[in-house]
Chain A
Amino acid sequence: QVQLKESGPGLVQPSQTLSLTCTVSGFSLTSNSVHWVRQPPGKGLEWVGAIWSGGSTDYNSALKSRLSISRDTSKSQVFLKMNSLQTEDTAIYFCTKQLGFSAGWGQGTLVTVSS
């Protein structure tokens, strides 16, 4: 069945770079998009960006200058890198398959930006 799992550091210092990995199974990255969505503690959902089945990417314009999404199809992994982190980037980061069309979310990983 479809599974996604996020991994990465739980704590990042301000101004540093966040690197997250989403490892998927049960579907192909070359046939499905993967999106990143984040949720500050106790708040709503924010779309971060996506990598499409063909490998192209789209980013939330508010984050675009700091964000990079890539993938390794041989390992069924999608990567998120966000630089110049600030405290407002503290959130649970989810990866999800075909946002808005298909079921399939990771359990999320909490990233705390703090010194």
Chain B
Amino acid sequence: DIQMTQSLASLSASLEEIVTITCQASQDIGNWLAWYQQKPGKSPQLLIHSATSLADGIPSRFSGSRSGTQYSLKISRLQVEDTGIYYCLQRYSNPYTFGAGTKLELK
């Protein structure tokens, strides 16, 4: 199975700060990578698909990038509503696997 490693379990940042969350794949997954945000008691929301493509209706302060097997989600100016848990997902091969999540809080 492909392992998706989110090295930071939690992250605290200030309003308007630039935040980067990373995810490392255990093997090449190409651009078969998505990012989700989940708030307490809610379903996950798709932010980024195909590693770098912004999902419909998602603010442009969110962006995704890839360097080899490392993937990053960047929030350019952190807002209050951006708190939550962020998960990466590989859809390259069965079983599709999620990272363990990075909890983003406001400082």
Size of the chain A interface, CB-CB below 8 angstroms: 21
**Residue in contact with B45 in the complex, picked from A35, A47, A103, A107, CB distance below 8 Å:** A103
How many whole Å from A1's CB to the nearest CB in chain B?
Answer: 11
Among A61, A94, A100, A106, contact of B89 (Cβ-Cβ < 8 Å): A100
Shortest distance between the CB of A19 and any CB in chain B (Å): 21
Write the nearest CB–CB distance from B49 to chain A, whole angstroms: 5
Please, how many angstroms separate the alpha-carbon atoms of A3 and B95 in the complex? 25
Compute how far the CA of A101 lies from the CA of B89 in the bound complex, rounded to whole angstroms: 11
Separation in Å of the B37 CB from the closest CB of chain A? 12
Instruction: State whether the Cβ of B100 lies closer than 8 Å to any Cβ in chain A.
Output: yes
- Besides the contacts A44-B101, A96-B43, A99-B91, what 11 more A-B pairs have beta carbons closer than 8 Å? A35-B96, A44-B87, A44-B98, A45-B44, A45-B98, A47-B98, A60-B94, A60-B95, A100-B32, A100-B46, A101-B50
Which of A44, A60, A94, A108 counts the most B-chain CB atoms under 10 A from its CB? Answer: A44
Known contacts A105-B44, A107-B43; A100 and B49 CB within 8 A of each other:
yes
CB interface residues, B 78-106, toward A, < 8 Å: 87, 89, 91, 94-101
Q: Which residues of A contact B (CB under 8 A)?
A: 35, 37, 44-47, 58, 60-62, 94, 96, 99-103, 105-108
Please give the distance in Å from A61's CB to the nearest CB on chain B.
6
Contacts of B95 in A (CB 8 A): 47, 60-62
